[in-house]
Structure 1
Amino acid sequence: MKLLGKLLLSLVLLLLVLLSLGYAVLRSHWGIAAACRWISDATPYHLSISRLSHDWSHPLTFHIDQVTFGEDGQPALLIAGKLSLSLTARQLISPTHFAQITIEQGTLVLSNLTPEATLPISADRLELQAVKLLNPYPTNCLSAKQLNGALTPWMPSQQAVLGKRFTFNFSAEDVHVAHRQFDKLIAQGSKDFQQLTITALSGAVERGTFEGKLSRSAEGQWQIPRLQLDNIRFQTDKGLADLFAPAMLPPVTIQDLTINHLSIVGRNWVINDVSANGQNLSNISGLAGHLALNAESLMLGTEQWSQPHLRLTAAEGNVTLDQFDADWAKGTVSAKGQWLRKTGALQLDKLDFSNVRYTLPSDWRQFLQSPLPQAIQSITLNNLSVENGLFIDISPDFPFQMTAAHITGSQLQIAQQHQWGLWKGEAEYYAAAATFNRQDIRALWFKVSATPDELRVQDIKGLIQEGPMIGNLAISQSPTHPFTLSLQGERVPYEAFTHWFWPHPLSGQGNFSVNLKGNLPSLTASPSSLQGTFTTPSFSQPVGSE
């Protein structure tokens, strides 16, 4: 027994001598350089270390200065000013697994790690202190400065450098994620394979702040119990419709959304000082939820809306416009209605304009000939009201103006099959004064009725100077739009007709009758053909063009 005891004591002493010798060698410049060469030659990685240090007050922790580590044939994955390794009893059976790894004042370049590589080390805890992170892949851009935080545990695997299951907390500055910049970002949470949970998220972005919490399921659906955005200002190259296109939004549910003083500058649109509240907003099984929104102004192209107020309710993919009010064109506009997802029908139960002063854009005729967005198949105005409107068209070929206009309409279908028009409904129009191609008409009044087969403008009445005029217009809804027009008047100045269709100068005044027929390429275009007669007591002349 004494011999066995002496043998064990000798082995322990020998082990201590070897450990002391190894400790001394590794702390020398020659020893650490030799160890780095051996690791670089024996493994598919390259390693460079400047100095190894150790403090006996923390006997299981070693500090390494000026570390460079990466795959053979690749630029460095890690360049660190200081790396700390905390040992554990597990080192006896798993030498490359540590209790804790701490990286200080370093740079991680994730794109320098090939997807098929698996890092040979792991730890119960990975801690980062003032680390710079880079991942400049064009499709997954990620970078950060002053990254501080911890990952528990850190078990890297192939194509998962952070591991598949861990908890985390971190803070960083100047963060870039998918080409979006955050001045500051703080997050804590966990990941379990493809399921991500962020229990606390906050930061600063675009001169504003945000906070909330969220989670992503293994199927890629996002659940956001709470999200608040404050004083954020940002720009985008997307159009307003593109920004909310289904391809731009992942499947997401937001239970509680709060927005304060948000402003966005987009491509051909601007919205200023938005405040909004939303509950149970979702696009997973069709649109759902409730949203109330106020803004200082909204600009779409050349159109500007002041103080818009919007309330929406969505269920089963259908959207109800509970309320829309705004100041527009020096007047006001308000609307209520709904959009039905299955049919693409937009039905406005109410559309009211009051005291608007509106100059039509130069391309308004082309706009009415262009198709509606794919999501809107038809538009119906159940009740239309225009009070004291002023409408001006300054196009040089046929300008017009309507002053103190009043319009009432019901069941007006102004679009079908993605095309503008007037397909159903009835309306009544009155304007105290109107000008058509520089010819004044007072007290203009008429009725409009439309069916899928025909559009009628009936009981046209007006005064040209002191002469009354009456008439009727009928337009077929067929593609060539054949039409008939009849007008009669008394004591009317004949020069009015030289402003409209008569090619020769006329003078005097008196009675007249006009009967015309022809075809229209569209409801907003000039006739492609015109035939008829213009009759006065002194002459009767044919009117025609082919």
Structure 2
Amino acid sequence: MKFLGKLIIALIAAVLLILLVLYVLLQTRWGAGWLTGWVNQHSGYHITFDEMDHSFSAPSHLVLKNVTFGRNGQPATLVAQKVDIGLSSRQVTEPMHVDTILLYKGTLNLSPSTAPLPFRADRLQLSDMAFNSPKTGWDLSAQRVSGGISPWLPEAGKILGSKADIALSAGSLTLNGMPASNVLVQGEINNNEVTITNLGADIASGALTGNARRLANGGWVVDNLRLSDIRLQTAKSVSDLLQPLTTLPSLALGRVDVTDARLEGPGWAATDLDISLRNLTLVNGSWQSDDGKVSMNASEVVYGSLHFLDPIVNADLSAQGVALRQFSSRWEGGMVRTSGVWQRAGNALTLDELALAGLEYTLPADWKKRWQEKLPAWLQTVTVKKLSGSRNLIIDIDPDWPFQLTALDAWGNNLQLARNGEWGIWGGNATLNAAAATFNRVDVRRPSLTLNANPSTIAISELSAFAGQGMLQATATISQLPQRMTTVSLNGRAVPVNVLHNWGWPQVPLEGDGNLQLTASGSLAADAPLRPSVNGQLQATGKSGQQVQQIMQNGVVPGT
């Protein structure tokens, strides 16, 4: 029995000695190399570390130095100067589930090919780490990341697990090309939903704060978002800048506030921009809202050829459409003001009032082409219940037929300016007066026009102007059918007998002033030249009574 007792004691001593030797060896480079070599040979992972430290002052902690970990044949998932593993009694039954893991000064690289990690911890702590997540739909790169995830139970395809509380900060971060600094994120993961209870960051020289939820279907609910003092310069257009929002299944915005923003991109800019948005959901390329509101003001907004100064917008959003309570702005040297409603049913815009005052506006070079283009699907009808214009200057610099209207006043009622997605004058009545005008280099004074329109015809009941020492008066009708057949009846008294020459009629063999009588018809079809369709008759009487009669057929007057 004494021999058996001595043998047991000897075996225990030998085991303790072996454990002591292993304990000492594992804290050397040789021991670390042997252990990592064994793991690499017998698993699908690759791990290296220089040495393992253990101190009896903290007996439950193992510290690995200069660690590299990843999947065989793949880039390293983790590189860290130090990994501190906190052990507990759980290791008896779950050796790979530890109390804490601290990653210190290194890099985490996560991608779809990242290995499902074999470790678990009640808490994962990061200290001064870098974080990269390319090719995951969120091109994320972060530096100086610190914080914790509790518990950390990683799964295949879910590096943070299905349930966890998160509190992380980053000195700098870039998400889908957008840089930020001093980032703070607090929230939780609950299966496929993510709740961000507190989000803060310095972005584009300004500040971002808010909270949001990511739904299981990939949509987002932003309860509160505030952007202050943003200064953004980008090479993207407005549509490209907002394009990531359109890729989401849905985006519900509860409250969004933008204050004192300055934004600039190719062909667009906004200065001192304030926006307040309430209760708006973007889904399937459209929007939805119940009791929503949007307000905007800025000192300057540029979008393409449009340049607004001090614009103000206030609108209410509902399931039925948009109630535009106010739009006003200084524009083209004058002022524009309107209010109205856009109705989702029928995609119809009805403006209660449109006021234009003091404009100095040069029409775009391609305005005729734009006039003939189809409107977008969301805007099929445009109606102006009341139009008023005062002291406006309108210029067209088309070299083939330029014109200018000076001190133009306008009045209109129930003007339907678009129907079935086509611009036009489809209904209503209007009167235009100007102090002076030039039409294709012919000066006239006090031009005036009165028209009434319906779906079949535009009737111009009065068209007049002073020319030379006399006056021109005309009436006209324009068919609303695609051929736009037009008839004109014009009389001139004591006017230059060749006043019509620059307007397309051949010169008459008379000089000075006289009287004119013209009847003509033609087609103003969009895709065909006017002249070949014109048929008409002109009778001119000179001062001394000489008379000349010319007949035009298919745009040609024989002998001229």
TM-score tier (shorter): over 0.9
* Cα deviation 1:190-238 (Å, max 9, x = unaligned): 0111111111001011111110111122233322222110111224555
Q: TM-score, normalised by structure 2?
A: 0.92
Structure 1 unaligned blocks of 5 or more:
none
Partner secondary structure for residue 498 of structure 2: helix
Aligned ranges 1:219-368 → 2 under 5 Å: 219-236=217-234, 239-240=237-238, 247=246, 251-283=250-282, 286-288=288-290, 289-368=292-371
* Cα deviation 1:273-331 (Å, max 9, x = unaligned): 21122233334672341111111111121221100000011011511111001000111
Deviation at 1:151, TM superposition (A): 0.7
Q: What amino acid is the match of 1:516? A: A
* Cα deviation 1:325-371 (Å, max 9, x = unaligned): 10001110011011111211111111111111111111111111111
Q: Provide the C-alpha distance between the structure 2 equivalents of 1:135 and 1:312, rounded to a whole number of angstroms.
A: 40
8 Å CA contact retained: 1:365, 1:524 = no
Q: Provide the C-alpha distance between the structure 1 equivalents of 2:529 and 2:237, rounded to a whole number of angstroms.
A: 29
1:108 aligned residue: 108
Greater mean alpha carbon deviation, residues 324-333 or residues 488-497: 488-497
Partner secondary structure for residue 246 of structure 2: helix
Partner secondary structure for residue 258 of structure 1: strand
Greater mean alpha carbon deviation, residues 522-531 or residues 220-229: 522-531
1:516 aligned residue: 520
Same amino acid, percent of matched pairs:
33
1:545 aligned residue: 554
Q: What amino acid is the match of 2:78? A: L
Alignment of 1:54 with 2:65, yes or no, is no
Greater mean alpha carbon deviation, residues 222-231 or residues 196-205: 222-231
8 Å CA contact retained: 1:157, 1:163 = yes
Q: Provide the C-alpha distance between the structure 2 equivalents of 1:6 and 1:419, rounded to a whole number of angstroms.
A: 106
Q: Provide the C-alpha distance between the structure 1 equivalents of 2:163 and 2:518, rounded to a whole number of angstroms.
A: 85
Q: Provide the C-alpha distance between the structure 2 equivalents of 1:265 and 1:91, rounded to a whole number of angstroms.
A: 57
Given the alignment, which residue of 195, 209, 213 partners 2:207? 209
Deviation at 1:267, TM superposition (A): 4.0
Deviation at 1:137, TM superposition (A): 1.7
Deviation at 1:510, TM superposition (A): 1.0
Q: CA RMSD in A?
A: 2.5
Q: Provide the C-alpha distance between the structure 1 equivalents of 2:232 and 2:531, rounded to a whole number of angstroms.
A: 48
Deviation at 1:119, TM superposition (A): 1.0
2:133 aligned residue: 135
Greater mean alpha carbon deviation, residues 218-227 or residues 49-58: 218-227
Deviation at 1:395, TM superposition (A): 1.1
Q: Provide the C-alpha distance between the structure 2 equivalents of 1:379 and 1:347, rounded to a whole number of angstroms.
A: 6
Deviation at 1:88, TM superposition (A): 0.8
2:558 aligned residue: none
* Cα deviation 1:231-275 (Å, max 9, x = unaligned): 112245554466667835652333332211112223422222211
8 Å CA contact retained: 1:353, 1:385 = yes
Deviation at 1:490, TM superposition (A): 0.7
Q: What amino acid is the match of 2:147? A: G
Q: TM-score, normalised by structure 1?
A: 0.94
Q: Provide the C-alpha distance between the structure 1 equivalents of 2:323 and 2:11, rounded to a whole number of angstroms.
A: 84
Q: Provide the C-alpha distance between the structure 2 equivalents of 1:527 and 1:360, rounded to a whole number of angstroms.
A: 24
Q: Provide the C-alpha distance between the structure 2 equivalents of 1:334 and 1:481, rounded to a whole number of angstroms.
A: 32
Deviation at 1:97, TM superposition (A): 1.2
1:501 aligned residue: 504
1:167 aligned residue: 165
Q: Provide the C-alpha distance between the structure 2 equivalents of 1:126 and 1:103, rounded to a whole number of angstroms.
A: 8
Greater mean alpha carbon deviation, residues 407-416 or residues 261-270: 261-270
Structure 2 unaligned blocks of 5 or more:
542-546, 556-560
8 Å CA contact retained: 1:405, 1:430 = yes
Q: Provide the C-alpha distance between the structure 2 equivalents of 1:156 and 1:59, rounded to a whole number of angstroms.
A: 26
Partner secondary structure for residue 49 of structure 2: strand
Gap change, CA 1:419 and 1:236, over 3 Å in 2: farther
Q: What amino acid is the match of 1:227? A: L
Given the alignment, which residue of 181, 184, 197 partners 2:182? 184
